Structure 1
Amino acid sequence: MGLVNDATNHDATDRGAITPGALPSYATGPDPGGPEATGPGPTGTESTHPRLPDANPAAAALSGLLRLLAEGAPAERLTTAAARARDGGACAAEAALVEEAARAALGIRRTLDQHRRREAELTALFDTAGDLAALRDLDSVLRAIVRRARTLLGTDVAYLTLNDAAVGDTFMRVTDGSVSAAFQQLRLGMGEGLGGLVAQTARPYASSDYRADGRFRHTIAIDRGVGEEGIRGILGVPLRVGTRVIGVLYAADRAVRAFAPDAVALLSSLADHAAVAIDGARLLEETRAALVDLNEANETVRAHSEAMRLATETHDRLTELVLRGGEIEDLAREVAALLGGGIVIHDVDGTELARVASEPIAPPVRGAAESRSGGRAVPVDGTWVWAVLAGPELLGSIALTGRGPLTGRAPLTDSERRLFERAGLVTALLLLLRRSIAEAEDRVRGELLGDLLAPEDGDRARDAGSLTLRARRLGLDLARPHSVLVLHCEEAVRARLAAETARRARSLRGLSGVYEGRVVLVVPAVEPGDRPGPVARSLAAELGRVLETPVTVGAAGPADRPNGLSAAHSEALRCVEALHTLNRTGHGAGLPDLGFLGVLLGDRADVCGYVERVLGPVIAYDDRRGTELVRTLDAYYAHGGSLSQAKDALHVHVNTVVQRLERIRRLLGDDWNTPGSALELQLALRLHGLSAR
């Protein structure tokens, strides 16, 4: 019945633990009897038992004791039996015998009272167990426990703390009779105060006056809460489930009170019932939660099963479409029918590949970027977008319209979103198939490219007619002038560079491929005299942005016949190497764009063109105005940039030299006299002088 543990731990005994040694060998309850009375008996009437004859007073007294025990007479009447025997004439020995019998009768009476009291307590415990068993809510169980503890022990306050394994302390959970907010929010560390010691040692502890009891570890927070509540006497017993302590049950008075061993045993028994009820309520709540989770899981499984069925049907339909050689337009129609919206498919360049049941939309660049980074279809302004990927490579995008909040139709469910993404995967497959076909064509183009760029030797002359015929079959007109561009990037992305260049070659009606380890592009010139520098710069910027790595492009040409493409290729290759040497990796240019370096590196030095690009504005000004800006600039550089020496050579005032140089600055720009520009100008002046002669 929850009796206290054996007190072999001296520390626990010193600090107030209740031990069997504290239990007396007899009942400690108050004497139920009172002063002896000859009046009414236990039934409220005058006793009708005849007095024994005076000839045998001791026997009469003993017989009277038995009658009083049987009647449940008060204890006071038992204590007067010896006196009545002496009054009746009993001798000293007989009186002593009667007195000893009276003491035995009192012991029997106390034992019977204790049994009755224990019977009442057990009845109350059984009632408590029944009440707790009928409760299903944990909070209700806890409130019923502390309320019954307060009632059974007749204390001012009862409360219960539960252990927090995560924090390592025990906290106030439920109180009954408490009026202090600070007390109701107490947390006790293991070993702190009376309750912390009970939670730590799993033994009952009691204190008749806790605030004055120095045997326990007092803390400021605990003493403040206990003081605010006004508690003096405290009894605490552990709540155990098996060998595990889950909390502490307390009974406390606001007056000094020494808790008897019976009180300890009673509260311990109640704690044992309470622990079982708490664990049962916890298990019941966990079971309820598990049932809720199970129902949700069943619903999730049902929805997932339906989604899987739909996904399987969709997969079969889309797979059949691919196997029968369907096109992008066929795929768009299938997906639009499945999802009840419009479909628009773009390639990586933003070109519309297919559109079904939708108005034209701009390429969803932002949505494709978000989808690519997040790996999911994303809604953008009422349109769902999925980035079509092949590994890390972006192939294009697929957009679903008419399924957003602005359209009046329900947005995509999770299963429909997955179907849309699956359609994007099939789109990627179709685009890859198209690329494979294009790459097969590119191999044929690559063979033609190799023959066009290969230099002539003595043993093999170039057959221009055959090359022109082969090119015409691929849609390339070699009768027009063509420029050659050599592209360079990191080795890791060269294959992607070749694929991107091939796409641009088709749109430009040109030819591309890999030649001698470099990606080469041959494109027709728009006009016969067009220089390829702008095309090289545009291509370097665009491809660098798409591939997210620097792409350097060197250009040459245009060549007006097939036999000139080999020389143009060599010049474009030298241009790429010059760009790297000049730390202009990631840029595009032709040799003429490199200034005097282009003149030095080019096979066909365009001296007049170079002079025109560098010195043209000054020469034109002299021609229109009849000034001598070119002669002044030549004199200025010839005399090491000295204004005084230049004015002597020109036979003019120094202010005139300054004014002419200011005019040159306006014509050529503020950086005309930087070291690099000065070198270009001096070379152009020399070449201009040679051409004038």
Structure 2
Amino acid sequence: MSSDLVAALRAIGEGAGPDPERLRSALPNDPAAADALVELAHRVEGLRQRGAELRAVMSSAKDLLSISDVELLLQRIVDRAHELVGVDIAYLSVYDGAKDELYVRATSGTVSPRFPQMVVPAGVGLASLAVRTRHPQWVEDYALLTSVPHDPTIDAIVGEEQLRSLLGAPLVVGDGVLGVLFAASREPHTFRPEEVSLLTTFAGHAALVLHQAQLLREATDATAESAAHQQRLEWAAALHGELTRLVLEGRGADAVAGVLADALGREVMFVDAEGRSVAHTGPARQLPGSQIRAAISKVDDSGASVMLGSGPVEFVAPVAGSTGRHGALLIARGREPLSDVQRRTIERSAITAALLVVRRDALDDAEERVRGEIADELFVGGALGASALRRARTRGYPVDQAWELVVIVCGAEDRRRLRSALRVRRDWLVALGADGVAVLAPGVDAARHVVDELGEATSAVFSRGATLVDALAAASATWRSARLARGLELPPGIVDAVTLAPYDLLFGDDGQRLSEFVDAELRPLRDWEQTRGTPLVATLAALFDHQWSLVAAARALHVHLNTLKQRVRRLESLLGDDLQRPEARFRLELAVRIEIARGLGGISPMRIVDQ
């Protein structure tokens, strides 16, 4: 490797950014490799930039969590959005659901004195569209926007500010909309997908924190009546601070549930939207699934928490985030009913749980992208994919242990569905092929687990390797065997590629041609079987298996020797000289062996694993 290439790669690793000319000059004799390095450098730079943006979002969310004053919080959200997206101005409009109106409450970078007092009537402009759809909305030139109604006053204020391009992200919590966060430019600007994603992600975090601050303010306003109540609020604030600290430190749901359970003096269970346990304490883990589902069903469609009059669960607080409900916190019944402060504290804890879910989903998405990239690189590079192998080893995959390659041949309409279903297993590497889906799975019984995951109607062909590289080396042969198996219309199950390997050598992956060969060779026997019912194909298979020993074949077929002799005479009459001529007998035995592999006609299949 030349010193120029080493220097260029080191500069990319140190964050200098891609330098196409430098990379191409370092590889003057290999333009394809140079182009690949340029593309890789751009990908590294994009990932680095995206990582920096996400770190800025998380840092901003952490900063926002320390603010309890709503007005100050609104202004800080707008300031942070202004910095993150890098536009001329940013502002936040709070939504009043009763009036279906939006009120500008915080701005950054504005010059018009009327802008901070702007009120957007119902159904007007981009803000109302974002509230109604609950999805980000943007326009390159607001003056040319015709898909939504305009208001003369709003248009005049926007004109004073000289705004052209606007991007609005709704602040959604559960089924409610708190407002719309806007980034705007005074010049026409086409918002890139990463800009939309960045503002939307920040708006989702800001919505949760703003909702938390609103709940805190409501709780504070309601506690001015007595000193004892104030003490309970201080307890709640301390608990919330502890829960927030756990989240920021990267602790899991079990830690949050444990702290909440200790503070309440009762058992706590955190379940997902399907009622599966995410975290639990004490006897709550023994709660039957029917009782869990019954408790969750009590939560209103509005997402409000509910008190239950009977049963082991007293209180249910939905865990909601920017994409909808993620589950619920179930609080076990105690000696005394929960107080108002305790219920509100549980609701705020549910918001903390929602932050956990958002973080977990983000990590899961990132992990799935990495797994997908590793799988694609392995299948493209095969045994020579050294870079992908290094990444797999770094991610903890046991590359030097036994692996199985499992191939499911299917139509284009099913490939992505099957890939999504198979990616539930984190230790599997799944990739799309031209004819179906391929799975690399560690272990010696992986094919059975793959079929179990997809259902009993699945047909899969597998090959086994002592290492990941060995399993990859058999990829081409396994795909050919899988296509051959589909053409043969094998019954659902798991087929070892070794079973079909001899026929692959003779017929390639043309299963239809192989099936026609079998049908042609065995047609006289099949015709006789249909009219007389005598299993001549199975008889011929037993004779081949036992080197034409009549005694051994009769024993294997569980028939009398005289019965077998009669069948042999029938075979001779139907096949004629084919049983005597070596070439014809070879073709006949080949057809019978294929029929055995197909598992048809009452013949026990070879190396086909029953599900």
Relative to the length of structure 1, the TM-score reads 0.34
- Structure (1 or 2) with the larger CA radius of gyration: 1
